[in-house]
A and B are shown apart, each in its own frame.
Chain A
Amino acid sequence: MGIRTALLATALGCALAASDAGAQELNVAIFGGSFADNVRTCVAEPFQRATNTRVNFVLGNSVQNAARLRATRGRPDVDVAYMDLQVVVQAKAEGLLDQIDATKITNLPDIYPSAVDPDRQWIGFMYSATAIAYNPRELRNPPQAWADLWSPALRGKLAIGDISATSGQHFLIAAARLNGGSVENVEPGFRAIRELRPGVVTLYTQADQVVQLIERGDIAAAVWFADRVGAAARNGVPVAVVFPREGAIGILPTFAVPQGARNKALAEQYMDRALAPDAQRCFAERQYAGPTNRKVELPDDLAKLVPYREAVDRLYFPPPELVARNLPAWTDRWNREIAR
C-alpha cells in the first residue's frame, strides 16, 4: 500500500510540476559551451521573463542539429535550430525547414539583407570570421596576411583546423584563392597546404584546443575564429586577432524553424528577441559576435575585435551551397593528402 501511494503521489507531483511550468515551452537546438551560456543570458532569460515561457536548450553542433531534424523529419522535437550557413542550406535543400513569417519578426527590416535567406527559411544572427590568431608575447611582427603563414618564421609554431572544423574548410578556401583558385577549384589550396603541412604543429578538431596550445607555448599562431580570440583574451589567454589583408573568411551562424515545429509562433517571437538591438549588443559584448542588426552601436574597443559595419564588407563569404556540395570530396582528399 505504501509503495502504491508513493507512486501515485510521485505521478501526481510530476503532473503538477509539468503543468506548473506553464503551457508554453520552447525547445531550442543550440551550440554548446560559452555560446549557450551567453545566449541564455542575452536572449533566453529576457524572453522567458517577457513571455512566461520555459526555454529548454538541447546542445549540439551544426551538423548534429541538422541530423536531429533529418531523423525527426516533419515531427521535430525542437522549435528552433541553430546551424552554420553551409549546414542550414543543406537542411533547406532537404526540405527540413519552414518559412519564417516576416510580419512576426519586427526587427527583420534592420537586419543586413545578406544575413537573411531570400526564401526566409533562415536568418543569420551574428557575424564572425575565420582569421589569424597569434600570441603577442611571442610574435613581435604578427602575420598580416594569409600569405604570411607560409613564412619560415612560423614553421613549427602554427596550428590549423582539420577539415572537420569550419576553420579548416575556410583555410582551404583562403589558400585556394590566394593561389589563383576558388571554391570551385581548390586544387591550388591543397597544393599550398601540403607544402605548409610539415611545419604545422597540429590539426585541431575542437576550437578550444587552440587555447591549450597557446597557453602551453606549443604554437605562436593559429587559423582560428575571431569571436573565440575575443573570449579567450578576456579570460587572460595571451592571444590577439588579425583580419588578414586578403580578407578573412566570413562565418554566418543562423537559426531556423524546422518543418512541423510545435510552437512556430513562439519560435518566431524568440528569434525576434534574439535579433533585437539590445540582445545583439549583449551578445557582441559577451560572445564577440558581430551584430547582424544594423541599428546596433558598439563602443570603439569592441568594434575593433568583431566584424562590424564596413569590416563585414571586407569578409569573403563562400557560397554555402557550393561548400555543402563539395565538402565530402574535400574531406576525402584532405584525409588522404593532409591528415595522414
Chain B
Amino acid sequence: MAEPRRDTTGLLLLAPLLGVLTVAFLVPVLSLVPTSLRPYVAGRGIGEGWTLEHYTNVLTDSFYLEILARTIGLGFVVTLATLVIGYPLAYILARSESRWRHWLTLLVIFPMLLNLVVRTFGWIALLARRGLVNQWLMGLGITDEPLRLMFNFTGLMIGLTHIFLPVMVLVLIAVIQNIPRDLEEAAGVLGASRAAVFAKVVLPLSAPGILAGSILVFVLTVSALVTPRLLGGPTYKVVSTLVYEQFLQLLNWPAGSALALLMTAIVLLLLWVGARVARRWEARE
C-alpha cells in the first residue's frame, strides 16, 4: 500500500525537473530532426522534400570524420588531464583539517566566477606567438623559436583543462568527503600500506565521483564553443565550431542540424558504454 504512493511522490518531486528538461532540452533537440532531413540549396534556402544527404556527407568525408575523431579525442584527453590533476587536489582538500581549507576550496572555484571569454583571452595572452610562455621559454634559452601553442591540439587542451578543472575537483571533493576516514584507518591497522589503502579502499569508493566528474567534463569539452573558437581559430576546428559555421555563417541549417545530432548520438553512445563499464567495475570491487 505504501509502496506505490512513494512512487508517485518521487515522480511528483521529479516533475519540475522533467518539465524543464523536456521544454528546454528534449523539444529543441528533437525539432532539429526534421530540419536535418531537408535539402538545402545555397542562395535559395531550405527546400521541400526529404533527404539523408547531410548525414551521408559527414559520414563519408574524411575531413568531417577527422574533426569528429579530433573532438572526441580532445574530450578524452581533457577528461583524463582534469582527473589526474584534480584527484590529488580534491583528496587533499577533502582530507585537510587546516583552517585554510575553505579558502583553498574557494581558490579552486574562483576561476568559475570569471567570464569564460575573459579566461580564454587570458590564455591567448599566455600562449600567443609572442605570449608570456614563449617569452619565458626563449628568455631562459629553452627554445630558440617560439613554440606553436595556439591554433592546435595543445592550445585547446591547455585552455579546456584549466576551464573544466574546477568541475572535476568539486565533484570529487564531495565524494571523497563522504568516504568515512575510519575505513582508511581500519585498513592501515590491518597492515595495508598507504598505497594499498589508496588503491583498494579510497579509489574504488570514489568511483562514482570519478565517473560523474568524467562524464561532466567530457560532455562540456566536446560541446565547448567559445574556447575552441578563440584558441583554435579558423585553422583548428572542432565539431561545435563546424556546427556554428553551418548555422551562422552559411545559413545551412539542415547540414548544421545533422552534424549536431550525429555528435549528440555519438556522445550518448559513449556515455552509455562508459556507464556500463563503470558499473561492472564497481560490481567487481
Contacts and interface: CB of A to CB of B under 8 A. Distances in A.
Contacts of A205: 233-234
A107 interface: no
Contacts of A328: 42, 250, 252
A335 B252 CA distance: 16
A325 B43 contact: yes
B44 A93 contact: yes
Interface string A164-182: 1000000000000000000
A64 B251 CA distance: 9
B235 interface: yes
A321 B42 CA distance: 10
Nearest to A323: B43
B38 interface: no
Given A331-B245, A335-B237, A89 B43 contact: yes
Interface string A4-45: 000000000000000000000000000000000000000000
A326 B43 CA distance: 8
Interface in B107-155: 129-130
B235 A327 contact: no
B42 A339 contact: no
Contacts of B42: 324-329
A29 to B, nearest CB: 14
A63 B234 contact: no
A321 B43 contact: yes
B234 A90 contact: no
Contact of B45 (A64, A70, A202, A329): A70
A326 B250 CA distance: 10
Interface residues of B, number: 19
A164 B245 CA distance: 8
B12 interface: no
Contacts of A63: 248-251
A28 B191 CA distance: 75
A336 interface: yes
Interface in A316-340: 321, 324-329, 331, 335-336, 339-340
**Dominant SS among interface residues on chain A:** helix
A336 B67 CA distance: 11
Interface string B156-194: 000000000000000000000000000000000000000
A306 interface: no
A70 B46 CA distance: 10
Interface in B211-244: 233-235, 237
Contact of A90 (B45, B129, B249, B253): B45
Interface in B251-285: 251-253
A331 B237 contact: no
Contacts of B253: 70
A84 interface: no
B52 to A, nearest CB: 18
A206 to B, nearest CB: 10
B76 interface: no
Contacts of B248: 63-64, 67
A93 B45 contact: yes
A77 interface: no
A117 interface: no
A332 to B, nearest CB: 8
Contacts of A164: 234, 245, 249
Best-buried of A89, A218, A329, A335 by chain B (most CB within 10 Å): A335
B91 interface: no
A203 B247 contact: no
Contacts of B43: 89-90, 93, 321, 324-325
Top-7 shortest CB links A-B: A325-B43, A324-B43, A94-B45, A162-B234, A328-B42, A339-B235, A164-B249
5 contacts: A64-B248, A90-B45, A164-B234, A205-B234, A218-B130
Interface of A: 63-64, 66-67, 70, 89-90, 93-94, 162-164, 202-203, 205, 216, 218, 321, 324-329, 331, 335-336, 339-340
Given A70-B251, A218-B130, A327-B250, 17 more contacts: A63-B249, A67-B247, A67-B248, A67-B251, A89-B43, A90-B44, A93-B43, A94-B44, A94-B45, A164-B234, A164-B245, A203-B233, A325-B43, A325-B44, A328-B250, A331-B250, A336-B63
